[in-house]
Amino acid sequence: MKKDIEIPEVKHVTLAVVREKNILNQNEWKVYLINNNPFPIENTLVASKGYGEKEGETQRTSTLRHFLETVPANQSVVVEPLDEKLFHLNNEYWVSYYIGNQIYDRRFVFVPDSICEENLMYIKELNKEGVLHS
């Protein structure tokens, strides 16, 4: 039954939205998956979507799916760019991956307007400023 299903806890895997300068010296935002485990995670699937309201009107983005074959131990990878015009939405990322034969998954949501200048912090794993999901 449902109560007999063991759902393992996701540990040491998180997401960050990072501000970077492009070659034209303009701000670009990218979503990073950070693996702080001492071992790689395999067959990682990240599904992303945005949803919410603006001026009383419902807004939704397309659902995008990204496959990352291996995220090495204590490393990070870029998942996707993120347009700042979407910061007023809930930006949801559903991350699923394997460690050995065990599947892990977790939902990360950056709530509306949480990706902003006031919430930027130094992220040592990336050596960049961004918003780290806890």
Judge contact between 118 and 79, C-beta under 8 A. no
pLDDT reading at 52 higher than 80: yes
pLDDT reading at 49 higher than 70: yes
Give the pLDDT of residue 69. 94
Q: What is the pLDDT of residues 76-127, one digit of tens each?
A: 999 999 999 999 999 999 999 999 899 999 999 999 999 999 999 999 999 9
pLDDT grade for 37, boundaries at 50, 70 and 90: very high
Give the pLDDT of residue 55. 85
Mean pLDDT on 22-33: 93
Task: Give all domains of the chain, ordered by start, each with its CATH number.
Answer: 2-119 (2.60.40.10)
pTM for the model: 0.92
Judge contact between 64 and 47, C-beta under 8 A. yes
Q: Give φ, ψ of 3 to 5 degrees.
A: -70, -15
β partners of residue 15: 33
